[in-house]
Structure 1
């Protein structure tokens, strides 16, 4: 590998890191800006009616930029890209028979794939799979970019668990227990985050957000809203995540790692270059 190629890969890697950071910042802005702006619109039907298309229009090119940067940096290759395409399709199909509150017919695979292939791969898989499934089911609406952000974060955070895998036996009960607990936590976290896309637009009152409330009061109001409206559904999702990972995790991890070892390659630097 020449010094020029090394320099190019370094800049491409930095571009990928920057693209992912900007996507996460965009997601944070999308969820939190209503709290800063106050109640500009009222009613669930008006939630992000004007802004969701803007966030979606920004998210698509940002995901493409991240994908191109990862390919240029060598952190993805064409074979792993093919694996990403296949897993995106599988996750989208697994979502079709999803039970109440998007229960875990597909979440577990995003978590396991992100854990094996890394944070950036996990983010791409989570975001793209939700986009494809929405197109298949006609579930395109103002909620879609928010679902893409949250499932992307799910896959990304699973990739951040990878350093722990060095201390655990691959496929052992310690690793499966870690991932099952992680899936259980995300069962609640997914619902808690997704509620924020519409909660600021709920009618003010005991369960709705009161503009002008301080941070502590807002958190208290949301805790009440979450406990009343979402906790039971999310408990079903959390339990299902944990059970599916416990039952299928060892087999799925084995296959994901087999494809990773078979298709992944790195280019060694030529000392003579």
Structure 2
């Protein structure tokens, strides 16, 4: 990734992370301000993806994985917290990188809520799943080969992280006063829901981590394009003269 695009992408990521804490500066409409700032941060991230000039194959891949992750969430809606969306977003980040991981996570939340219901929680779900994909992409930079146990542990941790991000939205919009005690009370109320989410992620990682990652890596190899630089005119002429000299020496003494 060129330096300019990488700086833009990382700046947008920092804005997204800061959006969760800036509402504390306002004494009124915390929930509205938080949702507005997260929405702006998401727009910046989508704009960064657009400015990155992604190939048609990458766009199709992100759209396909986002749709699969979204549709996989719908049948599991009857189970509290258990769904394969987080697992699929993490695998996308591990295999295809931070940018694709964020886009798959954000797309999965946006599309699945057309079936399950949109609301002020949608931008926060897009943020949470997008950050799960980004963090998985950074994990892959330090550990290129992540096994099923690492995927399970990482997914287990994100079960709670996802819940805490969503708790922040609920805390900013509905709980008063806005202090650590009320926030911890909200986290305690969602503890079992987050635990089921974490356990489901770990189970999907252990059972499906290796086969799903293997399939995604196969597609990643197909997306990769290796370029071989052409020799310069000077190198080509030198090679040609060398071949002529060798041919001349080989013909010495022959009739």
Q: TM-score, normalised by structure 2?
A: 0.80
Counterparts in 2 of 1:1-273, with a 5 A limit? 13-38=2-27, 40-41=28-29, 47-48=31-32, 52-53=35-36, 55-56=38-39, 59-60=42-43, 62-71=44-53, 76-99=54-77, 100-134=79-113, 136-137=114-115, 139-166=117-144, 168=145, 175-204=147-176, 208-210=177-179, 218=180, 221-227=182-188, 229-270=189-230, 272=232
Give the distance between the partners of 1:54 and 1:27, measured in 2 at CA.
Answer: 8
Structure 2 spans left out of the alignment, 5+ residues: 234-255
Q: CA deviation at 1:153?
A: 0.5
Matched-pair contact (CA < 8 Å) for 2:20–2:34: no
Does the CA contact (< 8 Å) of 1:94 and 1:106 recur in 2?
yes
Deviation at 1:176, TM superposition (A): 0.8
CA–CA distance in structure 1, aligned partners of residues 8 and 124 of structure 2: 18
From the superposition, tell whether residues 190 and 54 of structure 1 become closer, same or farther in structure 2 (CA, over 3 Å).
closer
Distance 1:183 1:55, change over 3 A: closer
- Residue 33 of structure 1 and its aligned partner are, at CA, apart by 2.0
Q: 1:252 to 1:140 in 2, by over 3 A?
A: same
Deviations 1:146-193 (A, max 9, x none): 211111100010111113444x5x7xxxx1111100000000110011
Q: Does the CA contact (< 8 Å) of 1:202 and 1:209 recur in 2?
A: no
Cα distance in 1, alignment partners of residues 142 and 34 from structure 2: 39
Secondary structure of 1:47 counterpart: helix
TM-score, normalized by length of structure 1? 0.75
**Structure with greater helix percent:** 2
Q: Residue 146 and residue 269 in structure 1: after superposition, are their counterparts in 2 closer, same or farther (change >3 A)?
A: farther
Structure 1 unmatched ranges of 5 or more: 1-9, 211-217
Higher relative contact order (CA 8 A, sep 6+): 1
Secondary structure of 1:195 counterpart: helix
Give 1:214's aligned residue.
none
SS in 1 for 2:75: coil
Answer with 28-37 or 108-117: which moved more: 28-37
